[in-house]
Structure 1
Amino acid sequence: MANAHPNQKRTAASTPPTPGTAVTARALALLGSFDSAHPKLTLSEMARRAHLPVATAHRLIAELLAWGALERAGQDYVIGHRLWQLGLLAPVNQNIAELAAPYMQDVLFVTQNVVNLFILDGNKVLLLERISGTRSGAPFLRVGEHLPLHASAAGKVMLAFGDQSLWDTASVAIEKLTEHTISSPQQLRSEVDKVRERGYATTSQEAGIGNYGIAVPIIAPDGSCRAALGVVTQERAAPVGSVVPVLRIAARSIARRVSLGRS
């Protein structure tokens, strides 16, 4: 469940709007030009990544600035606080992240490791929440960033306990991020089988050099895997024998709280 490495900075720009696309779609394309690798963009960069004429981008950006979706940062643009405030209203944040926070704090207190909460987002896992202490160092992954399924402990958990369709996607989209990354469908299948058998997943410098992760599934009462809880360490792996039981207790508690919150 280690956090992002330089290869993950290669993210695609927005999908080109089709001719005659509505103004709303063009505005969304401009907002979609931002990602974790591009938190700040100039006008020309936004226009290029959104596949829009500079003049069109300039006009729409002015409207987005007025509404609060964008803000100026010198010569660059950044996502505005109004979008951040709206994001906090997303049900997935309220139903999982807020309910999980006390148990994540418990894991931090007991293990002294950075604690991560991941959810599935398309064919990757999304870091939904992160709790760390004052001595954890610079984060390898920021909240809102993604990791591929095959190179993260949380992703392996999703492959082991999630829908079969995830495997169909992950097994044909294996990108080698470091020399330690799983590089073949056969190797990934063997790893996922081990995860399913032992109930937890690990990574050893597979998403980034010097980063190690352990994750367990958060299983809903209906048997579905809605999220993964784990710890990440730098330079050396955390002891599985003492960390996994703590994660499992927290994961079960989170699952119960989420279930009660939705009943």
Structure 2
Amino acid sequence: MPRPVLQDTSSSLRRALALLDAFSGERRELSVRQLAERSGVTRSTAHRLAKELVEWGGLERTPGGLRLGVKLFELGAMAPSPTSLREAAVPYLHTLHEVTQLTANLAVREGGEIVYLEKISTRQLRVPHTRLGGRGTLHATALGKAILAFTEDDVDLDALAPTMTRLTAHTITDPAALARELGRVRSQRVAYDVEESKEGLFCVAAPITSGRGPVLGALSVTGATALSHAERFAPTVMATAAAISRSLELRAA
């Protein structure tokens, strides 16, 4: 009987992808044992697949174990991305960072999370925060709430409930409470995260649109805690988001 090549390849592919997915911003170097534990594959399989990934260039050996390889960077550079949004937003983000002296962020929604497209950090932000290309929650970040509030399709918050994990004592985990919060965001066109995603941080975000179309993403500034302090930056964040939105509208005209 012929060997079911596609089925075997698919299974091996899923396991290899699980190995790659085991890495994170906090764990950029892993041993084979750690790869096996974090991916859920056996150690012998992890060892075999890691060897093949090293030969292909997807992984690189280090004195302490393994890390992601240059091949993945090459492929990632060719992957489609919201290029026009990032290109339009980056100059404004630099100005926002300079004016506020806070970390400026740009993010888009991907499924049930946000992905950070750009981050201009400030040395004054000493609390560990997100990273470029990293992900965040929709319900506990100002960026996520700004995007959710202006999403054209009705957002099923009850369906989102299982992902609404409590990250701090201030995290909103009740769909009804989040619905009220999103109503406020729509009314004021600004979203806040005051120690909802991480203790010691506030974030102020505003949505980015293109004309009357759907929300494209959001930008924010992040800094020290206190709602009164955060509210001081709301007009600047909103004006920057409006300027980017206008720029995108002119580009599309």
TM-score by length of 2: 0.84
Q: 1:191 aligns with which of 181, 202, 215?
A: 181
Mapped to 1, the partners of 2:15 and 2:173 lie a distance apart of 38
Query: Which residue is equivalent to 2:213?
Result: 223
CA 1:126–1:44: 2 relative to 1, 3 Å: same
Question: What do residues 74-125 of structure 1 show as CA deviations (whole Å, max 9, x unaligned)?
Answer: 2321112331243233332533323311110011111111101111121111
Question: Any conservation in 2 of the 1:151–1:206 contact (CA below 8 Å)?
Answer: yes
Query: Which residue is equivalent to 2:4?
Result: none
Question: Any conservation in 1 of the 2:161–2:173 contact (CA below 8 Å)?
Answer: no
Matched, 1:252 2:242: yes
Query: Which residue is equivalent to 2:101?
Result: 112
Question: What do residues 194-243 of structure 1 show as CA deviations (whole Å, max 9, x unaligned)?
Answer: 11111110011111111101000011224211111011112445745552
Query: Which residue is equivalent to 2:12?
Result: 23
Matched, 1:80 2:80: no
Q: Which has the larger radius of gyration?
A: 2
Q: 2:80 aligns with which of 79, 91, 94?
A: 91
Q: Residue type of the partner of 1:68? A: G
Query: Which residue is equivalent to 1:204?
Result: 194
Question: Any conservation in 2 of the 1:149–1:170 contact (CA below 8 Å)?
Answer: no
Matched, 1:178 2:168: yes
Structure 2 residue matching 1:62: 3-state secondary structure: helix
TM-score by length of 1: 0.82
Question: Any conservation in 2 of the 1:119–1:128 contact (CA below 8 Å)?
Answer: yes
Mapped to 2, the partners of 1:197 and 1:133 lie a distance apart of 30
Mapped to 1, the partners of 2:224 and 2:8 lie a distance apart of 48
Alpha-carbon distance, 1:126 to partner: 1.7
Question: Any conservation in 2 of the 1:156–1:195 contact (CA below 8 Å)?
Answer: yes
Mapped to 2, the partners of 1:77 and 1:260 lie a distance apart of 46
Structure 2 residue matching 1:180: 3-state secondary structure: coil
Q: 163-172 vs 29-38, which deviates more?
A: 163-172
Mapped to 1, the partners of 2:65 and 2:56 lie a distance apart of 17
Question: Any conservation in 1 of the 2:194–2:201 contact (CA below 8 Å)?
Answer: yes
Mapped to 2, the partners of 1:86 and 1:261 lie a distance apart of 28
Structure having greater relative contact order (Cα 8 Å, sep ≥ 6): 1
Question: Any conservation in 2 of the 1:213–1:237 contact (CA below 8 Å)?
Answer: no
Question: Any conservation in 2 of the 1:125–1:149 contact (CA below 8 Å)?
Answer: yes
Alpha-carbon distance, 1:54 to partner: 2.6
How do 1:121-140 residues align onto structure 2 when only pairs under 5 Å count?
A: 121-137=110-126, 139-140=128-129
Question: Any conservation in 1 of the 2:114–2:137 contact (CA below 8 Å)?
Answer: yes
Structure 2 residue matching 1:92: 3-state secondary structure: coil
Q: Report sequence identity in percent.
A: 33
- Structure 2, unaligned runs of 5 or more: 1-6
Report the aligned-residue RMSD.
2.6
Question: What do residues 118-177 of structure 1 show as CA deviations (whole Å, max 9, x unaligned)?
Answer: 111211112221102343435411122222211110111122111323534333432211
Query: Which residue is equivalent to 2:59?
Result: 70
How do 1:150-161 residues align onto structure 2 when only pairs under 5 Å count?
A: 150-161=139-150
